[in-house]
Structure 1
Amino acid sequence: MLDAAERISGAQIHQRSHGCAEVVIAAHANGARLERLAQAGSAKAILPRIHDPRPEVVFLNTSGGLTGGDTLRYALRLGDGLCATATTQTAERAYASTTGAAQANVDLKVGRGGWLDWLPQETILFQSSNLKRRIVIDLAEDAGCLFLETVILGRHAMGETITSARLDDRREIRRAGRPIWIDPLRLDPDSLGRTTSPALLGPGRAFATLVLVAPGAADALGPLRATLTVPGVEAAATAFEGRLVLRVLARDGLPLRRQIARAVACLRPGPLPRVWQYQD
């Protein structure tokens, strides 16, 4: 039922979801140990049993998606000398909003000599969605990471064409507190409508960025480029000063996923995250 204030004003107050999940993994004499697991609201984190000494952290949003006024935060802290994989249980969905932006923040910290693979599943933007997101990986001086972000505009199989959506996405990797890679991305109805511009997305409706930060990252450039053979995908990779960056663009999410799976397998030893809903 509407309360008295709503009846008087005629305004309807929508329920919003708020979630925060934080995981701290510390070094122990017998290997990695879960030191802290805090969950609130719609955000959850699980650590499934896997056949790998590196722990795997799976974040999930039980609300099923994000819309205006929702807030979501994922945080992970890795102790010194630890290696881990962090991913999401499924694709994150940004739904239509009439009340401003949904807010999402991802805060990841890696201790000395550590390594993190941040390999979330894709973010799907629906018509009239509005998402503001900040992703920060804070590396210790000698730590490294593999970073992935994938965005898909609508559901291709449903014939959706996204002409009005907003995404304000800032991805940042720091080393000892100093930014070493900053990648801001902003989409709005104007940029989505300029499909003929090669400087924008053109006809592409699925795109991804993969970044490797490690000493000698350039050594992987040749093998990575050799994997860029999936039909229906445009991709380019470059390397500089301990960083390797891959950009991938496709008209549909399926070929993009296949290409990303091949690229990640090239840069990362061992199997892909078990929760990924696609394998090459």
Structure 2
Amino acid sequence: MTACPAAPLQRSHGSARLSFRRAGPWTRLDRLHQAGSAKAFVHPAQTGPDVVFLNTSGGMTGGDRLCYGLALGAGCRVTATTQTAERAYRSAEGIARVEVTHSLAAGAHLDWLPQETILFDRSALHRETTVALSKDASCLLLEAVVLGRAAMGETLTALQLTDHRKVTRDGVPVLFEPLHLTTAALTAGAGVLQGARAFASLAMLGQGAQSALGPVRDALAEPGVHAGASAFDGRLMVRLMAADGWPLRRQILRLLTVLRDAPPPRVWHI
């Protein structure tokens, strides 16, 4: 008797890419491509289109791949988010990979505000986010991570997360954030997470971004959230840490109220 080989595990792959152009005073959808598990929806909003990305596979595990991308023409203004929190589940083998690539022509502005990424026990995720700015283009970028859901009693004993964010202006790097968390980080103490199980990074890049530093620091008042903000030379950076994703989310919403002249995307409503 010869044992039957194990069937290969099914993996999800998805890609959603959109481009926008300026038509008089309006930002209009120019092209839309979506394939596999990735979908994108465009909704009219107060300050320009809202793009909502959706992963129909319901989460990611080892071997899955997801790609999102936006190309904004000159003068376009777009807000983009995800339909819900992305989930990285336990990986039996391999690594889940996410690639986010945005490009902004002169005078364009993007608010990239994905909802939090929830990491489950023994998950393995590699994410690359690249934003290419031209001339006086500007952006607001958010990345939030939750290490298990406290309300569900989830505790992480092992994980692997590599998360890189890179922003360039006319090809010159203006922001580079490499993050690498392994199992050791869960018990590393004050030098790493300080017991936090939720953290976020918020960056605003553009002319005069540093002028928002005072109002941002005044808004860092959510109980249970440790936060700090700094700004210089057209860059504003905010770091947030909390014991759970719920107070972190409330603090993020406070900051979005300060940094945007529009309400948060509707899928963020709580």
Q: TM-score, normalised by structure 1?
A: 0.93
SS in 2 for 1:58: strand
1:43 corresponds, among 21, 29, 38, to 38
- Which residue number in structure 1 is paired with residue 101 of structure 2? 107
2:29 corresponds, among 34, 51, 69, to 34
The AA in structure 2 aligned to 1:82 is C
- Which residue number in structure 1 is paired with residue 229 of structure 2? 237
- Which residue number in structure 1 is paired with residue 13 of structure 2? 18
Which 5+ residue runs of structure 1 have no aligned equivalent? 1-6
Q: Which runs of 4+ in 1 moved over 6 A?
A: none
CA distance in 2, matches of 1:233, 1:10: 50
CA distance in 2, matches of 1:9, 1:72: 31
1:88 corresponds, among 77, 82, 97, to 82
The AA in structure 2 aligned to 1:172 is K
- Which residue number in structure 1 is paired with residue 175 of structure 2? 181
The AA in structure 1 aligned to 2:204 is L
Q: 1:1-280 alignment to 2 at 5 Å?
A: 8-29=3-24, 31-50=26-45, 52-194=46-188, 196=189, 198-278=190-270
The AA in structure 2 aligned to 1:216 is G
Decide whether the 8 Å contact of 1:163 with 1:193 is kept in 2: no
Q: CA deviation at 1:157?
A: 0.2
Describe the shift of the 1:8–1:201 C-alpha distance in structure 2 as closer, same or farther (beyond 3 A): same
CA distance in 2, matches of 1:49, 1:117: 15
Q: CA RMSD in A?
A: 1.2
Q: CA deviation at 1:199?
A: 2.1
Q: CA deviation at 1:8?
A: 4.9
Q: Percent identity over the alignment?
A: 51
CA distance in 2, matches of 1:156, 1:267: 29
Describe the shift of the 1:8–1:176 C-alpha distance in structure 2 as closer, same or farther (beyond 3 A): farther
1:147-199, Cα deviation, whole Å (9 max, x unpaired):
000000011101111120110000111111211100011111111222x2x22
CA distance in 2, matches of 1:49, 1:31: 11
1:205-259, Cα deviation, whole Å (9 max, x unpaired):
0000000111121111111000111110100000111101000000011110011
Q: TM-score, normalised by structure 2?
A: 0.97
The AA in structure 1 aligned to 2:140 is L
Decide whether the 8 Å contact of 2:123 with 2:160 is kept in 1: yes
Decide whether the 8 Å contact of 1:147 with 1:212 is kept in 2: yes
CA distance in 2, matches of 1:144, 1:111: 10
Decide whether the 8 Å contact of 2:26 with 2:48 is kept in 1: no
Which 5+ residue runs of structure 2 have no aligned equivalent? none
Decide whether the 8 Å contact of 2:47 with 2:262 is kept in 1: no
1:83-113, Cα deviation, whole Å (9 max, x unpaired):
1101000000000002110111000111101
Decide whether the 8 Å contact of 1:90 with 1:277 is kept in 2: no
Decide whether the 8 Å contact of 1:138 with 1:176 is kept in 2: yes
Decide whether the 8 Å contact of 1:75 with 1:107 is kept in 2: yes
